[in-house]
């Protein structure tokens, strides 16, 4: 794949951002590309997911809407059919002689953010701004998916000896897709796993050999149910679900910080009530907690549930709390970090190599890393710097497309090095 093909692919994906389990167009587009390669196996949709471990799957009508949208955008019908019900993602397998099984994991989903319309926002200037209004590739997963394909090509064209598996994972933003992919069986024979992310405040030309400091994360959905009443005539007959939710939000942010490390909490999506003159009967709160370790995440989770339950009780409401996605913490193994570091240092286009840096966010790649490590394998999470004008998860985020090629070089280089040095 040429550099211009890679950019074209990235831009096409950028035009079609899709949220968790709705990556219909994205998966179809990738499969379309993958099928032109000489692969040993290509698994799609239900074949790459442990169905019971899927979390945060949207309602059927949401799935249908995105499915339809993908069809209208020109996604291949035969691939779409295989993805029905929100089974997205793919795993491509390349076998070249004897050698270790090395895997690369990239994620492919977008975010519910409205992309900037500023003339100097590159996707506007370059005419590849999101066509799914209200959604956006604001975290670079369009580049990740492209890198995944690029690495596959680079390794295929090399003298690689062993097996390469590229995991195109759905639903990372919801920390919802990592676990079902980790539990799909496709990792069982993997000896080495690399995962990757662009940007993260590292400039173009910089490589981070081992990212650590993943915050373990847990997403939740709380449904408050009270009793409605006429807000003017009978206020005392209502049990106000919105008031319960507001009290919960105020106190969720007040969960004590922890001396053992960083924690996070966010009330990310709220909705409640039906009319200004009715005491709200229902309110829902979608949020998340994080911790520098899995224990810290559990600490936050436990306190958050206590806040949610007490806030409901305070206003005479019921609350139903469900966990919609969860990711543990994880660490990059020294041996892989050294290999990546050496490969990066040897690359003329790499201007600086950072041995280790902390993410400060969450990632469900940790599920895949843990799975491999539990099986006795090694894993590392590699950062590929890219100049990004706006911060991650903001409407002016964009990637420096030159860093896609550099990422492919470093990652494929590391894979070759692993295969040759650790047969």
User: Which residues line the annotated binding site for Mn(2+)?
Assistant: 139, 141, 173, 197, 393
Per rule CB under 8 A, is residue 253 in the interface with a second copy?
yes
CB of 136 to a second copy, least distance (A): 10
* CA separation for the pair 10, 90 (Å, rounded): 17
- Are residues 382 and 211 in contact, defined by beta-carbon separation less than 8 angstroms? yes
CB of 196 to a second copy, least distance (A): 16
Q: How many degrees, rounded to 5, is the angle at CA 259 between CA 255 and CA 262?
A: 70
The dihedral sign for the CA sequence 332, 334, 338, 339: negative
Which range of residues in 161-169, 184-192, 260-268, 367-375 is near a second copy by CB under 8 A?
A: 260-268
In the complex with a second copy, which residue's Cβ is closer, 153 or 292? Answer: 292
Reported in sequence order, the residue ranges of 273-377 that DSSP labels E, i.e. its strands, are 282-291, 318-327, 352-358
In the complex with a second copy, which residue's Cβ is closer, 84 or 313? Answer: 313
Q: How many degrees, rounded to 5, is the angle at CA 137 between CA 332 and CA 253?
A: 70
- As to burial, measured by CB atoms within 10 angstroms (0-12 exposed, 13-18 middle, 19+ buried), residue 421 is exposed
- Are residues 57 and 23 in contact, defined by beta-carbon separation less than 8 angstroms? no
Per rule CB under 8 A, is residue 356 in the interface with a second copy?
no
With CB under 8 A, what is the number of residues at the site for a second copy?
85
Per rule CB under 8 A, is residue 391 in the interface with a second copy?
yes
* CA separation for the pair 231, 233 (Å, rounded): 6
Q: Pick from 288, 333, 364, 398 the residue near a second copy by CB under 8 A.
A: 288
Q: Pick from 394, 402, 417, 420 the residue near a second copy by CB under 8 A.
A: 394
Q: Pick from 40, 60, 188, 260 the residue near a second copy by CB under 8 A.
A: 260
In the complex with a second copy, which residue's Cβ is closer, 74 or 306? Answer: 306
* Binders in 81-140 for a second copy, by CB under 8 A: 111-113, 134, 139
* CA separation for the pair 367, 373 (Å, rounded): 10
Element (H, E) at 365: helix 365-374
In the complex with a second copy, which residue's Cβ is closer, 37 or 395? Answer: 395
In the complex with a second copy, which residue's Cβ is closer, 308 or 415? Answer: 308
240-266 burial, b at 16+ Cβ within 10 Å, e below that, comes to bbbbbbbbbbebbeebeebeeeebbbe
Which range of residues in 43-51, 74-82, 346-354, 385-393 is near a second copy by CB under 8 A?
A: 385-393
In the complex with a second copy, which residue's Cβ is closer, 123 or 238? Answer: 238
| Residue among 154, 97, 119, 135 at smallest CA distance from 15 | 135
- Are residues 382 and 156 in contact, defined by beta-carbon separation less than 8 angstroms? no
Query: How distant, in Å, are the alpha carbons of 16, 110, 232, 267 from that of 114?
Result: 13, 11, 37, 19
Q: How many CB atoms lie within 10 A of CB 158?
A: 16
Q: Which residues fall in the annotated binding site?
A: 139, 141, 173, 197, 393
Which range of residues in 4-12, 93-101, 312-320, 370-378 is near a second copy by CB under 8 A?
A: 312-320
Per rule CB under 8 A, is residue 147 in the interface with a second copy?
no
CB of 376 to a second copy, least distance (A): 30
Q: Pick from 125, 269, 345, 346 the residue near a second copy by CB under 8 A.
A: 269
Per rule CB under 8 A, is residue 270 in the interface with a second copy?
yes
Q: Pick from 54, 121, 186, 290 the residue near a second copy by CB under 8 A.
A: 290
Per rule CB under 8 A, is residue 174 in the interface with a second copy?
yes
In the complex with a second copy, which residue's Cβ is closer, 205 or 280? Answer: 280
Per rule CB under 8 A, is residue 236 in the interface with a second copy?
yes
Reported in sequence order, the residue ranges of 199-239 that DSSP labels E, i.e. its strands, are 206-212, 216-225
């Amino acid at each position: 794949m040429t550099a211009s093909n890679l950019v074209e692919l990235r831009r096409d994906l950028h035009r079609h951002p899709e949220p968790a389990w709705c990556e219909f167009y994205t998966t179809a587009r990738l499969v379309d590309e993958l099928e032109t390669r000489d692969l040993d196996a290509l698994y799609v949709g239900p074949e790459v997911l442990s169905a019971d471990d899927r979390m945060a799957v949207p309602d059927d009508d949401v799935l249908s809407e995105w499915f339809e949208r993908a069809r209208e955008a020109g996604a291949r019908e035969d691939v779409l059919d295989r993805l029905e019900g929100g089974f997205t993602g793919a795993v491509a397998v390349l076998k070249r002689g004897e050698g270790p099984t090395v895997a690369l994991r990239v994620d492919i989903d977008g975010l519910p953010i409205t992309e900037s319309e500023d003339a100097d926002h590159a996707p506007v200037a370059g005419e590849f701004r999101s066509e799914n209004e209200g959604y956006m590739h604001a975290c670079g997963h369009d580049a990740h998916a492209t890198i995944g394909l690029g690495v596959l090509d680079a390794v295929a064209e090399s003298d690689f000896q062993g097996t390469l598996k590229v995991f195109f994972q759905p639903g990372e933003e919801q920390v919802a897709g990592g676990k079902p992919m980790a539990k799909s069986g496709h990792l069982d024979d993997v000896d080495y796993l690399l995962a990757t992310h662009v940007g993260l405040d590292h400039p173009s030309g910089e490589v981070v050999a081992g990212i650590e400091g993943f915050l373990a994360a847990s997403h939740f959905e709380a449904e408050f149910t009270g009793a409605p009443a006429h807000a003017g005539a009978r206020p005392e007959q209502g049990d106000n679900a919105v008031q319960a939710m507001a009290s919960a939000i105020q106190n969720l942010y007040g969960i004590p910080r922890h001396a053992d490390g960083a924690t996070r909490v966010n009330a990310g999506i709220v909705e409640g009530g039906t009319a200004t003159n009715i005491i709200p009967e229902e309110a829902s709160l979608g949020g998340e907690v994080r911790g520098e370790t899995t224990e810290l995440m559990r600490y936050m989770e436990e306190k958050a549930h206590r806040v949610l339950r007490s806030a409901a009780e305070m206003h005479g409401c019921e609350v139903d709390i469900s966990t919609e996605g969860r990711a543990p913490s994880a660490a990059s193994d020294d041996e892989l970090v050294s290999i990546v570091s050496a490969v990066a240092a040897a690359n003329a286009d790499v201007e600086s190599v950072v041995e280790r840096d902390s993410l400060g966010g969450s990632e469900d790649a940790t599920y895949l890393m843990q799975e491999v490590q539990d099986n006795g394998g090694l894993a590392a999470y590699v950062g590929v710097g890219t100049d990004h004008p706006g911060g991650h998860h903001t409407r002016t985020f964009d990637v420096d497309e030159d860093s896609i090629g550099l990422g492919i070089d470093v990652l494929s280089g590391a894979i070759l090095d692993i295969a040759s040095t650790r047969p």
